[in-house]
Structure 1
Amino acid sequence: MKVVSAVFLALISVQSFAKNVEDVRIDGLVQMPSSRAFDVIGFDKNESYDSGKVYQAINSLFNTGYFSDIDVYEENDVLVFDVAERPSIGNLTIEGNELIKTEDLQRGLKLSGLEIGEIYQPETLNQIVQELQRQYYALGRYSAKVDIEVEDMPRNRAGIVIKIDEGDTAKIVHINIVGNKDFDEETLTKDFESSETGSWNPFSSADEYAKGKIDGDINTLKSFYLDHGYLDFNVVSSQVSLSADKRDVYIVINVEEGKPYNINNIALSGSLPIAEDSVWKQISQKKGDVFSRSEVTKVIEGISTVLGDEGYLFTNVNVIPEKLDNHTVNLSYQIAPGPKVYVRRITFSGNSETQDEVLRREMTQFEGALATHSKIQASKRRLERLGFFSSVDLRTRPVSGTSDQVDLDVVVQEQASGSIQASIGYSQEDGTVLGFGISKRNFLGTGNKLSFSASRTDSTQDYSINYDNPYFTVDGVSRGFQVFYQTSDHADDDVEDYDLDEIGVGVNYGYPISDTQRLSFGMTIKESTVKLGYDPSNETEDYVDTHGDNYDDVIASLTWSDSDLIGGVLPTNGYSTRATLEVALPVGDQQYAKLGVTSQKYWNLNGSDLWLFRLKGRLGYGTGYGDSDSLPFFENYYAGGAYSVRGYSASSLGPQNSYDDADTDTSALGGNILMTGTAELIFPLPMVEDHKSVRTTVFLDGGNVFTDSCLSANTECNEGVDLSEIRYSLGVSWTWITPIAPLSFNFARPLNAKDGDSTDFFQFQLGTTF
């Protein structure tokens, strides 16, 4: 409140003329520097003043927001401004917020001038309370309350505590659409993000009211009618009603449907620099069809893409609907292609680690060439497939002073492409796990991959060094090297009693066939040593008696791969297929061949990368040839466990081995034929924010291994594939890719387990890096 002393009021009441003042003094300043205060009042000693000028000075001081009270008086020809400063904010605390992050609240408070060190202004707090409540109301928290407590602190400071009670989200009890005649409410609301409160569902928040969701649902309703030809459709009004306790919401949407329109005629207008037939191929509509806005959008995108692929990158396509009296409509697609556009320069940013060359070699759009839509999009896709970047954005920027040139700006955001880990953990399949690994998929920013790993479990030891250069030649020929050493002791697991040591080196070359396909050739030299345990099975002993226990093999491999997966460790889109033929050549001690095919595909169910459907299948077949009549037993396929058919113990399915002693417990023999498959529905958990590192799925697994060669003494072994022996399981999986180690939990129930099958309802893997 502005205060002016009685002395000064009396003075100016009798003296409205200007008066000189010998000096000016400002008392009570603490926060504001005196130099600034004198600048604000605007006059100094030996300067004339009148009442208007004094009032102007008082107003200027108040407008700074520093002062709560100002007293002005004259004392011995000295004009004195006696001020009382507002306290500064010495402490700011926010309590009770969960829905809105503290960082976001602090950012908003700072923009409003409310942060530590600023001047405390009560009117600002009132505005903030109203704004916070408005935000919570928009989130459906109508019972939310915001209280502010102000505490005095030493040195003219104030401590502010913002206490938030977020309340409960109001539930949508009923959604009522009024005025609909041609479609029932169930049809109109099936794609709504909001839904009425029904049965309890811990994974859904659709019945929680939020203004943004309702606005989106109204747009969905409009799109539905426009896609069904209702060009006159109109949302007259929408009302939201609250129950007395602010917990129940009732929504009423009033609509006018109108009548559907059919297409009477379709025409093209404007300039067509390419053959008109190629444009008409993009138009899927025809006379008599019901008008659909979504189809019109697809046509516009198709025409823009066709012209964009011819260099007309900035084509503008508009559609003009002309309504006729008989509820038909004429559609006229107006095309303005503009000039052909060339790329002057391609620049890269955001790649602080990755060399420009690594990005540039993935570009199918070149500098100096005609800018085409398909090549720009293909370049983006190739960069995303590298896996080095969390986001890739390609932007065209017109060149100043020209109409036919653009610069292409490639903006990437790098993500971690390497790790150094020492781990200790436990896996139900492998027991205690100890490991150390160094892996870099983008070694020194060159795009090359280098990795070293060493791991040890209860039954295995594994050491390997791998190096791969995807651009050994400028044409995209890759070259890789591998050195490995593996030992395994199967005495205490679900595989029979033997030890296996393998050491080898390998080299491979890969050749690009297309943008997504590669053909690779490899050669591996490997030494394998088998040491039989105390009680080996008849099958294992028979193979060692026939072929010995030490094998030097030369293995040639041919691999065809086709991959267009996007999303890194947890893909969200695309497909991959890999077929590999391995042949142990006759120059070695064993002769066998293995053919394997693995394929998977993701379908995005709602365009948000959150609801996905995935199918994955794996087939394998191995056989001996020449002097070998069967596949080596340690090259057999196995099924069961977290990596194949969940719900069954690891490597437990398929044919069982045999022993001379009928009382000896049998174990999985494996087989030379493998068939496994998985169907997964991937969905988001509402309480999880980072869906790039967390994934929840409902899965159906199926599979088994078979053999086409059984020992005559094994009466429990059946030769050939019997589809009735396929095992199935149904369950839920939760995976979290943490920065330090992966966590994976599987809850699975076998659907057709038979006597003798070993099952596990719960399977997990856990590791901790230190």
Structure 2
Amino acid sequence: MKDFLKAASLGLMLPLSAIAQSFVVNDIRVEGLQRVSAGTVFSALPVRVGDEIESVEIQSATRALFRTGYFEDIQIGRENGVLVVTVRERPAISKIEITGNKAIATEDLLKGMKDNGLSEGQIFKRATLEGLAQELERQYVAQGRYGASVKTEVKELPRNQVELRVIVDEGSVAAIKHINVVGNRAFSDEELAEIFELQTTGWLSWLRSDDKYSREKLTGDLERLESYYLDRGYLDFQIESTQVSLSPDKQSVFITVNVREGDVYTVSEVDLAGDPVVSEEEIKRLLLVREGQTFSQIRMTTTSDYITKRLGNEGYTFAEVNGIPEPNKEDNTVKITFFINPGKRAYVRRIQFRGNTRTADEVLRREMRQMESASASSARIEQSKVRLERLGYFKEVEVETAEVPGTSDQIDVEYTVEEQPSGSIGGTIGWAQSSGLVLGGNIQENNWLGTGKQVGIGVNVSTYQTAMNFSYLDPYFTPDGVSRGFNVFFRENDYSEVNLSDYNTTTYGGGVSFGYPVSEISRVGLNVNFNHLELSASSGSVQEIKSSPSFLDDTSLEGVTRANAEIIVDDANNGIANNLAMMIDENQFNTSADGFIDRYGDAFNNLALTASYARSTLNRGILATRGASQNFSAEFTVPGSDLEYYKFIYTGQYFRPLTKSLTLRLRTRLGYGDGYGDLDQLPFFENFYAGGFGSVRGFKRNTLGPRSTPAEFYTQLPCATDGESITQNCYQVDENGNLDIRQNGDADPFGGNILVEGSAEVIFPLPFIKDQRSLQSAFFIDAGNVFDTSCDETQINCYDVDFGKMNVSAGIGLTWVTGFGPLTFSLAKALKENDDDETEVFQFTLGNSF
């Protein structure tokens, strides 16, 4: 016969008359198990074979089994000396289905349910589900969705399983209809309204969502309101109450904030207390608050931060500096005392890196200015972070300092990085609007195999260029940052395909480069390059490259008038041979001034030296948002080269935050070049060009500035037949025997020896995109042109420097850093253009490495 004890809940106590007396457990048997193992029950059961138990022990055992959460009913009975445990397991969750949610993603809901013990395969607990539904409704209310409701359904399935259904009705977000600040006298309602992130419904609210009530946003607005008053001397300012009311239809929110402004306080005295460690004079130079000023909380807290950072530079990373205001209500003055507690000087035990799955630790460690075992310096730790950001290998760099457990004077410094593409690797299929289809295999990597070295290998073919190159640069050829690199190359260019004059070049050569760091933010460089250049000009090459008109091999030195030519053609059609040509003296041929090839030849060997200086305080190597950079280079071919010339180039950019989300970028590029020795001009193939990406957007690439003079041809006419067809062409002459000349084609962009470019951009975040670290969008105004100090009389659009001839455009641009390189778009309109300039509204590049 069995005696049973049934416990329906943890708190239920039943009479145990059948087994009121103690007995010795000879065995334990568990019944009713399906998924839970017997071992789980035995490990949770506080009873063992051989124990003598009474009703108290049985109650304790029941509670212990309920605490596992696996069972919804437990019965414990006795069969002779055997303790029988009969259980009914809770059902397992087979499937979870969520419908109706948009504002909160399904993945986030499932994660929240899992964190609370509700996920597929886990034991179902109804109380947990009900509590989770209530919490979810509270989250929707916090978003201003007061009409939201969450219903749950539990469908029982065979084999003790259930399916959970969560049905969400999010409703709509209540819009803010009115924000009222009561008690303000010093500032108008309009002034205070500008402080709030929450706004009443406006014409841009659909985009900004600033009229959607949120408890978190309101809390932030109240903090900003308090700071606004405290920063203007209202030391007694208080927010006495806040009311948020809802319309009956739960669609409109009304916010009322009751404030008490108080009086304006003036600083009567500024004092220092504690141990400043450094000299008091140095600390006083960091003070932003002065006697006689209106009290400002932001100045007081910023001063505390400055002093803390200064002590941190001396190794006191745990320093505490607190500004304490002591108001005197009688005369509305306040004494500010800065209490300084430097703590112990800290030393760096270890520097660690996380997130660099591709880049070697050595590459990061060599950028460190904070050394291990040295005293900690806040400035050096931050400087090391900035140097990592400037590498261009990482989307983001974060740094944390942690106190070493068990010590009071040691810290560990940990840098966490998130890597990003730093070049392009593999086969390339791309398209550039300016150069057409680009095919080839290339590797252009600024972080080769995570070593920090720059390697470029490529064979590329496009409509205007065939190029092969290899380049290598080791930025840490020596441990102190001296760089060394070299390159070899071969190029064939057909410049008529990229909006330039009709000529071809074949170039091959190589060079070596060195760089030396002058300081943390600047370095100098020296490049030595040799190149062999061959020029190829056609009969259609412009007059600046090759003189024209010239003799044609298939044309007789005879002349014929148009009237005579018509007779010859008629005779040829009638099968009658005739020749009415007249001989022309070669002195009648008049050519233009000698072109570059006529004067200097078409093959050159040049040895060029380039000295450069670069300075950068940019916060990032790619898509920077603050800081400045400038680069100056001077290139010249050494005396004895076939062509002796020099070029100076300056580029600079400057970033300045305008607001929390807007940044101003100013950019300029200037260039000047000329010849020396026997060369009286800059070689035309070294000319500067402007227009397109990186220059003046909204204009076709390389089309701004001086134009070439088209080649001229002597007009040819038929002058002899064989009775059936024309067998000979002659030059056309007029009735007076003068040769007729015509031009071939249009004037092409030719470039000049002076470049002036400038740009102003306002960088802004794109709406609806959370992670914008690989994106940068901007409104821009570009201006620039190319000028020349030795314009030929026949050239058009050629001027000496004249800022009245600057081209101007405005538009919007977007750059996205992908694994294949940057993808860049611009949409621009020319605001000011010169005659013969070529505009282009939409421009893009795809597949090019940076």
TM-score of the alignment, normalized to the shorter chain, above 0.5: yes
Code of the residue aligned with 1:256 in structure 2: it is R
* Cα separation, partners in 2 of 1:507 and 1:234, compared to 1, 3 Å: same
Which residue does 1:422 correspond to in 2? 427
Whether 2:126 is the aligned partner of 1:122: answer: yes
**Is the CA contact (8 Å cut-off) linking 1:346 and 1:407 kept in structure 2?**
no
Q: Is 2:781 the counterpart of 1:700?
A: yes
Partner residue of 1:566?
619
Amino acid at match of 1:691: Q
Matched, 1:728 2:797: no
Matches of 1:46 and 1:505, distance apart in 2: 91
Cα distance change, pair 766–160 in 1 and its aligned pair in 2 (3 A): farther
Q: Alpha-carbon deviation of 1:239?
A: 2.4
CA distance in 2, matches of 1:75, 1:400: 57
Alignment partner for residue 180 of structure 1, among 176, 179, 184? 184
Task: Return 731-740 or 588-597, whichever deviates more.
Answer: 731-740
Residue number among 606, 625, 636 corresponding to 2:687 in the alignment: 636
Q: Which amino acid aligns with 1:736?
A: W
Aligned 8 A contact 2:351 2:372 in 1 = yes
Query: How far off its partner does 1:216 sit?
Result: 1.3
RMSD over equivalenced CA pairs, Å:
3.2
Match of 2:717 in 1: none
Residues 178 and 254 of structure 2 are in contact (CA less than 8 Å); yes or no, is this contact kept in structure 1?
A: yes
Question: Residues 763, 445 of structure 1: CA spacing in aligned structure 2 closer, same or farther, 3 A cutoff?
Answer: closer
Is it true that 1:652 corresponds to 2:655 in the alignment?
A: no
Q: 1:237 aligns with which of 236, 241, 245?
A: 241
Q: How many residue pairs are counted as aligned between the two chains? A: 760
Moved more, 202-211 or 491-500: 202-211
User: 1:157 is aligned with what amino acid?
Assistant: Q
Distance 1:166 1:419, change over 3 A: farther
Correspondence for 1:678: 759
- Tell which structure's C-alpha radius of gyration is larger: 2
1:540, distance to aligned residue in structure 2 (A): 2.4
| Among 589, 592, 602, the residue aligned to 2:655 | 602
Question: Which residue of the other structure, out of 452, 455, 460, is the alignment partner of 1:455?
Answer: 460
Q: CA deviation at 1:728?
A: 1.5
Structure 2 counterpart SS, 1:756: coil
Compare 131-140 and 255-264 and name the one that shifted more: 131-140
The equivalent of 1:530 in structure 2 is: 535
| Structure ranking higher on relative contact order (CA contacts 8 Å, 6+ apart) | 2
Letter in 2 for 1:640: G
Tell me which moved more, 666-675 or 564-573: 564-573
Output the amino acid matched with 1:753.
Answer: E
Q: 1:342, CA displacement in angstroms?
A: 4.7
Query: For residues 155 and 703 of structure 1, do their structure 2 counterparts lie closer, same or farther at Cα, with a shift above 3 Å needed?
Result: same
CA distance in 2: counterparts of 1:47 and 1:499, whole angstroms = 102
Query: Are residues 1:332 and 2:361 paired?
Result: no
Counterpart in the other structure of 2:842: 762
- Partners of 1:749 and 1:200 in 2: how far apart? 26
* Residue equivalent to 1:582: 635
Q: Which of 575, 593, 618 is matched with 2:669 structurally?
A: 618
Distance 2:45 2:284 in 1: 74
Correspondent of 2:279 among 275, 278, 298: 275
After TM superposition, the structure 1 stretch with the greater mean CA deviation from structure 2, 754-763 or 568-577, is 754-763
Once the two structures are superposed, residues 79-129 of structure 1 have per-residue CA deviations (whole angstroms, 9 ceiling, x without a partner) of 765543321012234445454444433332222111122111221111111
- TM, length-normalised to structure 1: 0.90
Matched, 1:488 2:493: yes
Deviation digits for residues 564-600 of structure 1 (CA, Å, limit 9, x no counterpart): 2223322222221111111122321112111111111
Question: How far is the alpha carbon of 1:691 from its aligned partner?
Answer: 0.6
C-alpha distance in 1 between matches for 2:387 and 2:81: 82
Q: Residue 84 and residue 733 in structure 1: after superposition, are their counterparts in 2 closer, same or farther (change >3 A)?
A: same
Deviations 1:545-569 (A, max 9, x none): 2222222111110111001222332
Moved more, 206-215 or 19-28: 19-28
Aligned pairs for 1:21-420 (under 5 A) are: 26-37=30-41, 57-70=61-74, 82-200=86-204, 204-324=208-328, 325-343=330-348, 346=351, 351=356, 354-367=359-372, 369-396=374-401, 405-413=409-417, 415-416=419-420, 417=422, 419-420=424-425
**Equivalents in 1 of 2:207, 2:666: separation in Å?**
23
- 8 Å CA contact 1:644–1:703 kept in 2: the answer is yes
| Residues 424 and 768 in structure 1, CA contact (< 8 A), matched pair in contact too | no
Aligned-partner Cα distance in 1 for 2:206–2:433: 29
Counterpart contact for 1:618–1:676, Cα < 8 Å: yes
> Once the 2 structures are TM-superposed, how far is the Cα of residue 46 of structure 1 from its aligned partner?
9.4
**How far apart in 1 are the matches of 2:283 and 2:80?**
92
- Residues 730 and 191 (structure 1), Cα distance of their counterparts in 2 relative to 1, 3 Å cut: farther
Cα distance in 2 for partners of 1:366, 1:200 equals 51
Provide the secondary structure at the position in 1 that maps to 2:257.
strand
Structure 1 contact 4–73 (Cα < 8 Å) conserved: no
Maintained 8 Å contact 2:475/2:484: yes
* Structure 2 residue matching 1:540: 3-state secondary structure: coil
Q: Select which of 524, 546, 549 maps to 2:602.
A: 549
Deviations 1:174-217 (A, max 9, x none): 32222111011232232433322211366533333322222111
Check the 8 A contact 2:811/2:827 in 1, yes or no: yes
Q: Deviations over 1:237-293 (max 9, x none)?
A: 222233344333322222111111100111222234433211211123222100011
Deviates more, 1:358-367 or 1:568-577: 358-367
Return closer, same or farther for 1:96/1:627 CA change in 2, 3 Å cut-off.
Answer: farther
Q: Quick check: 692-701 or 367-376, which moved more?
A: 367-376
Deviation at 1:645, TM superposition (A): 1.3
Percent identical residues? 40
Instruction: Extract unaligned runs of 5+ from structure 1.
Output: none
TM-score by length of 2: 0.82
- Contact kept? 1:593, 1:622, Cα under 8 Å: yes
Task: Please name the residue that 1:738 is paired with.
Answer: 818
**Aligned equivalents of 1:307, 1:47: Cα separation in 2:** 67
**Quick one: structure 1 residues 469 and 222, their matched pair in 2 at CA, closer, same or farther if it must change by over 3 Å?**
same
* 2:21 is aligned with 1:18: yes
Of 500, 510, 514, which residue of structure 2 is paired with 1:509?
514
Residue in structure 2 matching 1:465, options 463, 467, 470: 470
2-structure distance, mates of 1:56, 1:683: 65
For the residue of structure 1 that corresponds to 2:305, the secondary structure is helix
